[in-house]
Amino acid sequence: MRMEEVYEQLQLWVEENRSHTMLGATAQYIPALAEQEPNQLGICIMDYDGDTYLAGETDVNFTLQSVSKIISFVALCHFKGMDFVLDKVDVEPTGEAFNSIIPFEIHRPGKPFNPLINAGAITVASMLPGDTPDEKFERFILFVEGMIGRRLELNEEVYQSEWKTAHRNRALAYYLKESNLLELDVEEALEIYIRLCSISIGLKDLSKIGLVIAHDGYDPVEKQQIFSSDVARIAKVLMVTCGMYNSSGKFAAHVGLPAKSGVSGGILASVPPKWHSEEKAFRKGCGIAVFGPAIDAHGNSAAGTMLLRQLSAEWDLSIF
């Protein structure tokens, strides 16, 4: 497909799917996120050559929220090795809500089911390199900077908003501490976890991360290996099985892409190369970032999910 055709299709599909924002609402339990404009919808696709295709509201920044979980998992595996990480966090879907305490009561004393639920992500955040939350945050920021070529910053307003309302996450952290899974005290572990969730990012930067994951940790634009293909493979499996909260199965069936969502309305998706689809767009693979802050009951962008479903169907992007 010609670049002009891709642009035209994206613009059309964004407007067609904008009405789906009415099926969701901004995250009301985090005051700073509740204030977002719910009717926004934007997308950025970055292809193998680093060219970007944008449509809708694309000049907005939003916080990573749970999208940070897959990136922190990749970072920790890169720094300390997969065996070290998987000794503390499993890779199984839970069937429970992302912030549920139930698994701890049923399976105690057990490790978190996967790094994409809050308990797993808090554990992962506490194990990042460094002795303090500041040192761990800096190492994470530098790791991401190595992928996108610029430094990301903390959204202090969102951080403070989440810190003041993190009652359930604080309870989860105490369970984790009791099971000797945290490498920090409870308050410090919670601090680094919430700081990672509160990092501000744009669509272009997020699509670049998706591109690197899609190509097994290799940056095709800068021609360098960022992290190992084994880490990327596990990351993509987790994104398919656990990345879209409790609707991960439906998303896999209808969209068929490794993806991770966050309650700010962001979605990170990775499209591996599909060399046999010569007539379709992005046969060399791509990274996709979507932002639509009106989220559904599961915590996923209502319009963003539908937009990705249409893209996958029309351009044959599904990995299945």
| 48 counts as catalytic | no
| 6 counts as catalytic | no
Catalytic one of 158, 193, 198, 290:
193
Catalytic one of 100, 231, 245, 247:
245
Question: 193: annotated binding-site residue?
Answer: yes
Question: 169: annotated binding-site residue?
Answer: yes
Is residue 75 within 8 Å of residue 140, measured between CB atoms? yes
Question: 162: annotated binding-site residue?
Answer: yes
Question: 29: annotated binding-site residue?
Answer: no
| 263 counts as catalytic | yes
Catalytic one of 263, 264, 290, 301:
263
Tokens 């995250």, located at residue: 27
Question: 300: annotated binding-site residue?
Answer: no
| 66 counts as catalytic | yes
Question: 48: annotated binding-site residue?
Answer: no
| 270 counts as catalytic | no
Question: Could you tell me which residues are annotated as the binding site for substrate?
Answer: 66, 118, 162, 169, 193, 245, 263
Question: Could you tell me which residues are annotated as the binding site?
Answer: 66, 118, 162, 169, 193, 245, 263
Catalytic residues: 66, 69, 193, 245, 263
